[in-house]
Structure 1
Amino acid sequence: MFGWLRRRLPPPQIPESLWRGVLRDYPFLAARSPAERERLREMSARFLQDKEFNGVHGLEITDETALAIAAQAVLPVLHLGLSWYDDFVGIVVHPGEALARRTATDEAGVVHQYDEVLAGEAMDRGPVMLSWSDVKAGGRLAHEGYNLVIHEFAHKLDLRDGAADGCPPLRSAHGRQAWLTVLREDYDRFREQVVMAERFGAEAPWLNAYGATDHGEFFAVACEAYFVNRERFAREFPRLLALFDGFFQPAA
């Protein structure tokens, strides 16, 4: 109720001590330029104003909890704008991993039900679910290219056109085809590395093997690494680096 009024009010100022704590806990945020950090702070305040956080299973959503999630979620759209996240409001935070009941139908038409363990989930035009223990790990696991918040919010970008295919909405069909060509070629190379490691004991690739699931998951896993460990990502995926730079950091 009165959501239109809420959006028109100026966002609250983030206390300095609270902001310094987030930069301390997530060094890849502190590593941004002064101008980017200031923009990140302003957009995080607006994000906190527009979204609704809900803790479950006894988890209390503190100011620190909400800001840690907001600042990391804003990073992918720092130069794109918060309108990319205007298709949802709710963010559900579990203390740890959650069980999701799934239903699948096999080729014979038999319906199977099973439980899937999730650290996070982004629903098309719906809420985002996050494991707080995994959110907190984002600061210390940046060297591995791991970040749950960026992963799930990358899915939200990918899903803007309704297809989880690893390509967010682009302005032209030509741009989309060029994007998919690079992404799919790098995905195929990465998937082969994962298969070789799992089946034949070859050296495991740097990125999380979950990225070999499909193109959408590869995009989300690659986005994690791109934002939290750009130097290593540049060595591993130079073509994706150029592709992502053109999208996430468009020229003024």
Structure 2
Amino acid sequence: MFDWLKSRLSRPDPIFDPSWHNILNSGFQHWSTLQPDELARMELLVARFVHTMRWEAANRFELTEEIKVMIAAQASMLLLGLDIDEWHDVTSVIVHPSNVRLRGTHSTGAGTFTTSPRVIAGQAHYQGPVLLSWAATRHGAKFPDRGQNVVYHEFAHRLDMLDGTVDGTPPLDDVDAQQRWVDVCTTAYDTVRAEGSPVLRDYAGTSTAEFFAVATEVFFNRPLDLCEHEPALYRELRIYYRQDPAARHRALAGGTPPAP
């Protein structure tokens, strides 16, 4: 029964092509913020993603090496500080050239549903595929200051799904960490729904699951703003992801990293 594990351990790690640095340095702004030890782990994660993930192109779209590398790098950013090396339960990544128009009944949050068509840039299915728009993926990677990143968003959903419940609370270390997470996120979620937020877009108030996904986007894309407006939320995300994007930004600007 352990033959599959022996086979996995005996296989050499996929190789990160050095030419991918050119793709990532020009198209993925966060790549240049990483320290050497972070880059070493990211190279391993990206290579595994590119070579072991099942890729599917929608609408006769051509999947290039650039597309695969860009998606792999953004998905891998979420795993950089975690004790997770692969997205084992993602069955495939389905890439569309642009946003997708869906029909049928779907939830609008708060227990309400609609049959109106909707346009999406991504979608994560429990123990299934992740659907992504390449146009949205490329834009989010190139312009992080705008706060949105469809890859971060959909793969945050997949982290949320790891415990079998899509509730905005990913698997945490212990009961105390879970309670602190729930307390902090519930307060921030309720505030977004009641008053809005200067840093979290309104979609974060759709559900607790969407709150976590949107908060993850802002944590990586606008960390200094999140530190300023939602310091408790930033702290919980920093503890969970074991990364400090605000420190990276301050270091690049020649400032002092924030205290733990």
Does the TM-score normalized on the shorter chain lie above 0.5? yes
SS at match of 1:129: strand
CA contact (8 A) 2:45 2:85 kept: no
- Aligned partner (choices 210, 214, 225) of residue 203 of structure 2: 210
> Contact 2:167/2:208 (CA < 8 Å) preserved in 1?
yes
In 2 relative to 1, CA 170–193 (structure 1 residues): closer, same or farther, beyond 3 Å? Answer: same
C-alpha distance in structure 1 between counterparts of 2:121 and 2:159, whole Å: 19
- Structure 1 residue 188 displacement after superposition: 1.2
- Superposition pairs of residues 27-46 of structure 1, within 5 angstroms: 27-46=29-48
Q: Secondary structure at the match of 2:90?
A: coil
Unaligned runs of 5+ in 2: 108-112, 244-260
1:212, CA displacement in angstroms? 1.4
8 Å CA contact 2:25, 2:32 repeated in 1:
yes
Structure 1 runs (4+) deviating above 3 angstroms are 2-8, 81-84, 111-114
Matches within 5 A, 1:168-179: 168-179=170-181
Deviates more, 1:125-134 or 1:25-34: 25-34
Match of 1:224 in 2: 217
Find the aligned partners of 1:21 and 1:246 in 2 and give their Cα distance. 30
Q: TM-score, structure 1 length as denominator?
A: 0.85
> Which digits, 9 at most, give the CA deviation of each residue in 1:99-134, with x for residues without a partner?
2233369xxxxx974432211000111110000000
1:197 is aligned to none
Alignment match, 1:167: 169
Residue 83 of structure 1, CA deviation: 4.9
Give the AA of the match of 1:238.
P
Aligned length: 235
Unaligned runs of 5+ in 1: 106-110, 195-203
Deviation at 1:15, TM superposition (A): 2.3
Judging changes above 3 Å, is the alpha-carbon distance between structure 1 residues 102 and 83 closer, same or farther for their aligned structure 2 residues? farther
Q: Distance in 1 between matches of 2:114 and 2:132?
A: 26
The answer on whether the counterparts of 2:198 and 2:229 sit within 8 Å (CA) in structure 1 is: no
- % identity of equivalent residues: 31
Conserved? CA contact 2:29–2:143, under 8 Å: no
